[in-house]
Amino acid sequence: MASLQLRNIRKTYTPEVPVIDNFNLKIDDGEFIVLVGPSGCGKSTILRIISGLEDVSQGEIFIGGKQMNSVPPKDRNVAMVFQNYALYPHMTVFENMAFGLRLRKIDRQEIRRRVSETAQTLKIEDLLFRKPKALSGGQRQRVALGRAIVRQPRVFLFDEPLSNLDAKLRVQMRAEIKRLHQQLKTTMIYVTHDQIEAMTMGDRIVILKDGFVQQIGTPTEVYREPTNVFVGSFIGSPAMNIFPGIWHDGQFSAHGFTLDLSMRKVDFPENSEVLLGIRPGDIKIGKSEILAEILVIEPLGYETILHLQLGNESSTVIVKDIPDYKTGSMIGVKLAIDKCFLFARESGKRIL
């Protein structure tokens, strides 16, 4: 196990366009960190930098307090689990898991012990003499995890390892990886574009956009206290509703409705263009002066998602059970004043 620190990391392939710029992150020993963001934001590049598969253009990498910039990948003692499993098709499960240990000339008896213990942990002991083509996607992913675990690395790196699995299996494997972290107590860095994975797995989340860090915090912090409109709309499912409007005399005015936010004590210039954000669970259905048209109804059993036309903007609302509504009908909506966010229109920074 080891702590990890990235200081002022910059990575460019062309001088004008940095993939990563001024990236700083300190990870405690045994912490589970999730890097999340849209495709192309630089999260996988950060993993490759940590592992040594990519050189940095600028900055320093420390693992366990030791600078790693000039240390080759094989000597960094980190293990990486890839999206495509990367198993050798001609080898059995046992041989795939043991391969890295054999390269390091580990004693055969010790290899058997590590592989056997890891297989029991991952519940794949019955698969040790099968080849990858005889395994399901979930079994292959467990083998890829096992191959990393037997190395007993100081840091685990996961590069979107569940994206090739079906929805049900992804949920199951999320729980498996989280259980493994609790059991192994090893530092783990997990990359995903799926904010649900980020929210359910990480001790802390690093949200990236265009190579820059937008916010670092616990799942609760980034959900409840987003620093800007990108974080607010990216984190949460369904996504936060965003309404453009004007701020004047404590009032937010949008096309179709006005909200009195004077009790929230916002210090912002009058007549400024702003964005109001509110999460789908914080809009209630009931008698109200604000009316919205139902566009789509998505019943999920335990709750229903309503897609509405509110003013000029489409929005979503979560309601319990399966309400007796019809598409095209008008309903009253109430926006919870104390749950509203305000963002500056131009910069996107949160002001309330």
213 within a domain of the structure (yes/no): yes
- Supply the range of the domain harboring residue 78: 4-233
Q: How far apart are CA 302 and CA 323, in angstroms?
A: 11
Assess whether 120 and 199 both reside in one domain. yes
Q: Which amino acid, residue 193? A: H
Cβ atoms 283, 333 nearer than 8 A: yes
Q: How far apart are CA 305 and CA 325, in angstroms?
A: 11
Q: In the structure encoding, which two tokens stand for residue 5, read together?
A: 């620190």
Region label for 256, one of left (φ > 0), alpha (ψ between -120 and 50) or beta (otherwise): left
Region label for 185, one of left (φ > 0), alpha (ψ between -120 and 50) or beta (otherwise): left
320 within a domain of the structure (yes/no): yes
Assess whether 67 and 124 both reside in one domain. yes
Helix (H, G, I), strand (E, B) or coil at 221: helix
Give all strands (DSSP E) within the chain, no chain letters. 4-14, 17-27, 32-36, 58-63, 66-67, 78-81, 155-159, 187-192, 204-209, 212-217, 241-248, 251-254, 257-260, 272-278, 283-285, 291-299, 303-310, 313-320, 330-335, 341-344
Q: How far apart are CA 335 and CA 285, in angstroms?
A: 9
pLDDT tier for residue 189 given thresholds of 50, 70 and 90: very high
Q: In the structure encoding, which two tokens stand for residue 49, read together?
A: 């930098």
Residue 185 is predicted with a pLDDT of 93
Assess whether 308 and 294 both reside in one domain. yes
CATH number at residue 31: 3.40.50.300
Report how many helices (DSSP H) and strands (DSSP E) the chain contains, helices first: 8, 20
Q: What contacts 132, CB < 8 A, 6 or more positions away? A: 85, 87, 88, 89, 91, 93, 96, 140, 143
The number of beta carbons lying within 10 Å of the beta carbon of residue 280 is: 21
Q: In the predicted model, what is the mean pLDDT of residues 5-10?
A: 97
294 within a domain of the structure (yes/no): yes
Summarize pLDDT for 265-298 with one digit per residue, the tens.
888 999 999 999 999 999 999 999 999 999 999 9
Assess whether 171 and 275 both reside in one domain. no
Assess whether 275 and 307 both reside in one domain. yes
Q: Is the pLDDT of residue 8 over 90?
A: yes
Residue 84 is predicted with a pLDDT of 86
300 within a domain of the structure (yes/no): yes
175 within a domain of the structure (yes/no): yes
Summarize pLDDT for 42-92 with one digit per residue, the tens.
999 999 999 999 999 999 999 999 999 999 999 999 999 988 888 999 999
Cβ atoms 303, 239 nearer than 8 A: no
Asked which of 215, 233, 251 is the last residue of a domain, the reply is 233
Residue 51 is predicted with a pLDDT of 96
352 within a domain of the structure (yes/no): no
Assess whether 176 and 54 both reside in one domain. yes
Assess whether 129 and 147 both reside in one domain. yes
Asked which of 182, 208, 233 is the last residue of a domain, the reply is 233
Assess whether 188 and 277 both reside in one domain. no
Q: How far apart are CA 247 and CA 298, in angstroms?
A: 33
Assess whether 250 and 192 both reside in one domain. no
Assess whether 158 and 263 both reside in one domain. no
276 φ, ψ (degrees, to nearest 5): -100, 130
Assess whether 83 and 64 both reside in one domain. yes
Residue 260 is predicted with a pLDDT of 95
- Of the candidates 274, 203, 276, 207, the residue with the CA atom closest to the CA atom of residue 236: 207
Assess whether 196 and 247 both reside in one domain. no
349 within a domain of the structure (yes/no): no
Q: Is the pLDDT of residue 322 over 90?
A: no
* Structural domain total, the chain: 2
Cβ atoms 141, 173 nearer than 8 A: yes
**Which neighbouring-strand residues pair with 148?**
none
Sheet with 32-36: strands ordered across: 78-81, 155-159, 187-192, 32-36, 204-209, 212-217
197 within a domain of the structure (yes/no): yes
pTM to 2 decimal places:
0.94
CATH number at residue 309: 2.40.50.140
Asked which of 200, 215, 233 is the last residue of a domain, the reply is 233
